[in-house]
Amino acid sequence: MRFRKYWPLLLLVALSVVFAQDRNARRGRPGEFDYYVLSLSWSPEYCAGPNGGRDPGQCGERRQFGFITHGLWPQYERGGWPQFCSAEPMDNRLIDGLLPLMPSPRLIRHEWSKHGTCSGFDSAGYFRLVRKAYESVGIPQRYRRPGDAIRQSPSELRAAFRAENPPLPEDGFAVYCTGRFLSEVRVCLDKDLKPRPCGSGIRDGCRAPELIVRPVR
């Protein structure tokens, strides 16, 4: 009888463990994917959250980042992605040179393990690709180092990105928010890092009519 009282909670815990394991399960083969997603994270939003206080490399005093590279992710056209495709180690000598783009050694190592190993390149080749992808996307002037919060509609932000990047198709990127605050822009690129339409699952994630872009401090 006591077991019956608690079985819904035990079932929930068991399912949570299974789902967590599935999120970290190895799937896919290196080089076998359809296109890339370049994830540009808005650093002030990350630093305003609970993890920011534990990340002095990105969020410490005088660390005034705007858009940073969260990752370059191999994707499947139909949705989903390969991950943890091999156990190939990363060359840790690369980290210092990547910090202006990805200001967290922990993030760099994670992105290599989860996504870079699926690219078909070694770590040096993959992070050269990450840099090239980041440099291929123009950041509109207004969002480079804003000293004050920006309030506008998601469509206005989208229009600014398209104006700065004329080859970018309307369905070639997506804007994401945490509540009303801008958190990320994802740009879809083919294997030659040319803009292309996004596949299934890459859609705008800002629901409020007005989004807020936190200032760079």
Tens digits of residue pLDDT in 125-152:
999 999 999 999 999 999 998 999 999 9
Encoding tokens for residue 181? 């605050």
Examine the residue annotation and report whether 184 is marked as an active-site residue of this protein. Answer: no
The answer to whether position 13 is within a domain reads no
| Start-to-end C-alpha separation, the chain | 57
Examine the residue annotation and report whether 115 is marked as an active-site residue of this protein. Answer: yes
Residue 5's pLDDT band (cuts 50, 70, 90): low
The answer to whether position 4 is within a domain reads no
pTM of the predicted model over 0.75? yes
The answer to whether position 14 is within a domain reads no
> Residue 205: which domain range?
27-213
Q: Cα separation of 75 and 80, whole Å?
A: 6
Tell me the C-alpha to C-alpha distance, in Å, between residue 77 and each of 16, 23, 32, 95, 151.
Answer: 28, 19, 11, 31, 33
Residue 7's pLDDT band (cuts 50, 70, 90): low
| Nearest partner of 41 among 124, 122, 104, 114, judged by Cα | 104
Tell me the C-alpha to C-alpha distance, in Å, between residue 192 and each of 11, 36, 136, 145.
Answer: 46, 9, 11, 29
Q: Pick the catalytic residue: 32, 110, 115, 170?
A: 115
Number of domains in the chain: 1
The answer to whether position 1 is within a domain reads no
pLDDT tens digit string along 204-214? 999 999 999 99
The answer to whether position 175 is within a domain reads yes
The answer to whether position 19 is within a domain reads no
pLDDT of residue 189 exceeding 80, the answer is: yes
pLDDT tens digit string along 87-116? 999 999 999 999 999 999 999 999 999 999
The answer to whether position 8 is within a domain reads no
Residue 164's CATH number: 3.90.730.10
Mean pLDDT computed over 9-37? 69
Tell me the pLDDT of the chain averaged across its residues.
90
Q: Quote the pLDDT of residue 8.
A: 52
Q: Pick the catalytic residue: 110, 111, 164, 210?
A: 111
Angle separating helix axes 123-136 and 105-114, nearest 10 degrees: 110
Percent of the chain with pLDDT over 70: 90
Examine the residue annotation and report whether 111 is marked as an active-site residue of this protein. Answer: yes
The answer to whether position 20 is within a domain reads no
